[in-house]
Amino acid sequence: MAGETVLVVDDAEENIKFLKEYILKPNGYKVLTASDGVEGLNIALSQKVDLIISDLVMPRMGGLELLESLQNASSNVPTILTTSYGSEKTAVKAFRLGSKDYVIKPYGVDEMLMAIDKSLAEVRLRQERKSLMQNLMKVNKTLEHQLKEMRTLYAVGRSVTSLLDLDELLLRIVEATTYLSGAEQSSIMLTDENGDLYMRAAKGIKDVKPQSFRIKAHDGISAQVVRTGEPIILGGYDEDDSFKVKTDYFVKALICVPLKFKDEVTGILMVSNLKSTQGFKKRDIELLATLAHYSSIAIENARLHAQIDQQPTQNDVQHDEVKKNVQITSEQISGSQTLSEITTPFATLGHLAAGVAHELINPIKTIHAKTKTVSEQFTNDADLLKHTNEIECEIAKCQRIIKSLLDFAGETHHDKRPVKLDKVLNKAMNQLSKDKKINRQIEIIRGYAPKLKSVMGDQNQFFQAFYYILQHSLDSMSTGGTLRVITRSIGHEAQVIITDTGEGISNNEIYHIFDPFYKSAKHNYGLGLSIAYGVIERYNGTIEVDSKLGSGTTFTIRFPIWEE
């Protein structure tokens, strides 16, 4: 690694020239020079210097005096002393004053380069640690931002799919679109019977009445999205970018995604920047496409609900048919539990989760490998090792989040075989103890059926499911309590009953605790219980929750017994 700045302090011009022209510059170092210790000290304290190569004997201030002055100024710039009159006593004094090396003149190119590499080793390791920390913070920030996006998207999805008033629904959609994209403008346009687009709701678009904003079926960018059913992203590259949305209406950057219901394009969702040249990214398309999934179904649901309200006098057959259509549409929203099916809104959220995880796997691996290298190369620096340990803790945190995202998306490997539930429960409890999740004031009572038969599934996934459920129970007993973990066999099923004496769950909250990223007034559930629910369901199990505020919660998990 070169590119560092080296300060050469010597009263002999030929020595400076030799170092500069034959050693430092050919190897990529930047060079500063000084003719004595006083000048060198001023440069070292006023400019960024990575290494000092100083002669021992110079007028005004020699090399040892320079070292002492640097030490008094709390400067930690590594220094190499060079001299033709060296002695063991002088070398010992130089090292005591902080010199990294002591080179006798005349020296060769290779000899000096070895001394430079040795002296800069600590500096380079510290710089690498700093770079690793910055990269890790950047990855953490990206991860936090994308998790926030997903939580917001999920919350928005729940919100819009619960609205039945079309005008209110459309307004909520454009507000959510603006929030997620950070765009100056957003709008939603629907198709009429002729295939033309008309604006139904907008945010940030001034001097335009939505009702009068129409685009012909074959006119412009928006119409192209309707015809092809594919999203479009434009702009953000040049100050002079200008894209026509319709006559007399131009923007500098835009994304336009289709609204589809049953493979038919029913409108578009568009965001744009009228003044800013800031462009949009591929991830913005993914976020808006997911929101468009929610919106399309919600819009159709609202329309069908309006038909029921407007036609109360129709015959029962027609009335029931419309209600059936509403029910089918609603089931598309509420029944979207299989994350592997990308056609559903929740599947798209799972797909996004997997995308976020895969996007971060390689940077985290690189940071981890480099941190390990730094730790192995510099085992005697306690301060440096403290920082690398902190980095490794943050890396482990990121890896757990990434694994949770992959589990939520159903992308982890399944190793299906007979599983002993008591062993998995013990392993989960031991891990919770290692992770310091168990309050000392909590009493743990285990009651395992002595001859409980195995169930079929993936042991690691069962471990994770029980870990999250047990963690929730332990977290609910912040001031202490009792946790009971019971297993039993009834008929052809094995049961696990986990009971705590914690704070309990309210009636409203209990219906949402398995929703990803659900957040109540007191709790943020994240992905833990969602992952547990997915694992249990994946292996034909069921989970029931019974809770009372102030009294505690009971989780009852059932699996079919494996018949040998």
> How many Cβ atoms from other residues are within 10 Å of residue 9's Cβ?
30
Q: Is residue 62 part of a domain?
A: yes
pLDDT at 545 over 60: yes
Question: Is residue 231 reached through a cis peptide bond, with omega within 30 degrees of 0 on the bond before it?
Answer: no
In angstroms, the CA 467 to CA 212 distance is 57
How far CA 374 is from CA of 127, 128, 382, 388, in Å, comes to 10, 8, 12, 8
- Asked if residue 163 has pLDDT above 70, the reply is no
> CATH code at 454?
3.30.565.10
Mean pLDDT of 432-453: 88
Q: Is 196 helix (H, G, I), strand (E, B) or coil?
A: coil
pLDDT at 207: 60
**Residue range 297-303: mean pLDDT, rounded:** 76
Element (H, E) at 142: helix 109-160
pTM exceeds cut of 0.75: no
Q: In the structure, what pLDDT confidence band is assigned to residue 328 with cuts at 50, 70 and 90?
A: very low
Is it the case that residue 149 has pLDDT exceeding 80? Answer: no
In a domain, 222, yes or no: no
Element (H, E) at 9: strand 5-9
pLDDT band at 410 (very low <50, low <70, confident <90, very high): low
141 within some domain? no
3-class DSSP string for 282-350 = HHHHHHHHHHHHHHHHHHHHHHHHHHHHHCCCCCHHHHHHHHHHHHHHHHHHHCCCCCCCCCCHHHHHH
Q: Identify whether 77 is part of a domain.
A: yes
What are the phi and psi torsion angles at 444 (to 5°)?
A: -110, 125
pLDDT value of residue 156: 67
Q: Please state, in angstroms and rounded to a whole number, the distance separating the CA atoms of residues 135 and 139.
A: 6
Q: How many helices (H) and strands (E) does the chain have?
A: 15, 20
The two tokens of residue 465 are: 């499911």
Cβ atoms of residues 54 and 79 within 8 Å:
yes
How far apart are the C-alpha atoms of 534 and 489, rounded to whole Å? 22
Q: What is the pLDDT of residue 341?
A: 34
pLDDT higher than 90, residue 560: yes
Average pLDDT across the chain, whole number: 79
Given this model, what pLDDT does residue 158 score? Answer: 64
Cβ atoms of 481 and 511 closer than 8 Å: no
Q: Where residue 462 falls among pLDDT bands split at 50, 70, 90? A: very high
Single residue among 57, 85, 107 that ends a domain in this structure: 107
Q: What is the pLDDT of residues 200-212, one digit of tens each?
A: 888 887 766 666 6
Q: Residue 190 and residue 186: Cα distance in Å, rounded?
A: 14
Whether residue 371 contacts residue 391, with contact meaning beta carbons closer than 8 Å, is answered with yes
Identify the DSSP state of 524.
B
- Amino acid (1-letter code) at residue 148: K
Task: Report, as an integer, the average pLDDT of 372-378.
Answer: 71
322 has a pLDDT exceeding 60:
no
CATH number at residue 22: 3.40.50.2300
Averaged pLDDT, 285-291: 83
pLDDT of residue 333: 39
Strand partners, 543: 557
Among 107, 142, 166, the domain-final residue is: 107
CB atoms closer than 10 angstroms to residue 338: 16
* pLDDT higher than 60, residue 134: yes
For the segment 175-188, the average pLDDT, to the nearest whole number, is 85
Pairing of strands 5-9, 30-34: parallel
Q: pLDDT value at position 193?
A: 82
**Cα 288 from Cα 292, distance rounded (Å):** 6
Q: Are 63 and 97 in contact (CB under 8 A)?
A: no
Whether residue 492 is predicted with pLDDT greater than 80 in this model: the reply is yes
546 vs 300: CA distance, rounded Å: 35
Residue 42 has a pLDDT of 94
Does residue 474 carry a pLDDT above 90?
yes
Chain centre distance of CA 151? 12
What is the pLDDT at residue 411?
54
Listed residues 85, 107, 129: the one ending a domain: 107
Smallest CA-to-CA distance from 391 within 65, 138, 43 is with 138
d(CA 217, CA 227): 8
pLDDT beyond 70 at 155? no
- State how far the Cα of 20 lies from the Cα of 6, in Å rounded to an integer: 9
Q: Which pLDDT score, from 0 to 100, does residue 36 have? A: 92
Q: Say if strands 232-235 and 253-261 run parallel, antiparallel, or are unpaired.
A: antiparallel
Average pLDDT over residues 288-307: 76
Q: Is the pLDDT of residue 433 over 80?
A: yes
pLDDT at residue 335 in the model: 37
* pLDDT tens for each residue of 339-358: 333 334 445 455 555 555 55
Q: Tell me, what's the pLDDT at 305?
A: 66
pLDDT classification of 313: cutoffs 50, 70, 90: very low
Residues 552, 545 contacting (CB under 8 angstroms): no
Residue 392: burial class (beta carbons within 10 Å; 0-12, 13-18, 19+): middle
First CA to last CA distance, the chain: 62
Residue 514 vs residues 40, 285, 509, 545: alpha-carbon distances, Å = 66, 28, 10, 10
Question: What are the residues whose beta carbons fall under 8 Å from the beta carbon of 15, sequence distance 6 or more?
Answer: 8, 55, 82, 105
Tell me how far the alpha carbon of residue 145 is from its chain's centroid.
6
Least confident of 21-25, 87-91, 501-505: 87-91
pLDDT bracket for residue 337 (50, 70, 90)? very low
- Residue 534 parent element (H or E): helix 528-538
192 within 8 A of 213, measured Cβ to Cβ: no
- The answer to whether position 351 is within a domain reads no
**Beta carbons of 37 and 66 less than 8 angstroms apart:** yes
Residue that wins the pLDDT comparison between 498 and 533: 498
pLDDT confidence band for 323 (50 / 70 / 90): very low
> Is residue 78 in some structural domain?
yes
Check residue 54 and give its pLDDT.
Answer: 92
pLDDT at residue 365 greater than cutoff 80: no
Domains in the chain: how many in total? 2
**Residue 539 or residue 244, greater confidence:** 539
pLDDT in tens, 237-246: 666 667 777 6
DSSP 94: H
The answer to whether the beta carbons of residues 209 and 239 sit under 8 Å apart is: no
Instruction: Name the residue range of residue 441's domain.
Output: 416-560
Closest CA to 189 of 208, 202, 176: 202
User: Is 409 within a domain?
Assistant: no
> How does residue 404 score in pLDDT terms, banded at 50, 70 and 90?
low
Structure tokens at 474: 């332990």
> Over the stretch 62-86, which tens digit does the pLDDT of each residue have?
889 999 999 899 888 999 988 876 6
Kindly state the tokens that stand for 46: 């006023």
Q: Which residue has the higher pLDDT, 386 or 357?
A: 386
Q: Using alpha carbons, select from 522, 496, 498 the residue that is nearest to residue 509.
A: 522
Q: Which two tokens stand for residue 489?
A: 């066999």
The reply to whether 422 falls in a domain is yes
Kindly state the tokens that stand for 461. Answer: 């996934």
pLDDT for 338 equals: 33
Task: Check residues 415 and 198 and name the one with the higher pLDDT.
Answer: 198
Q: How far is CA 315 from CA 312, 318, 324, in A?
A: 9, 6, 14
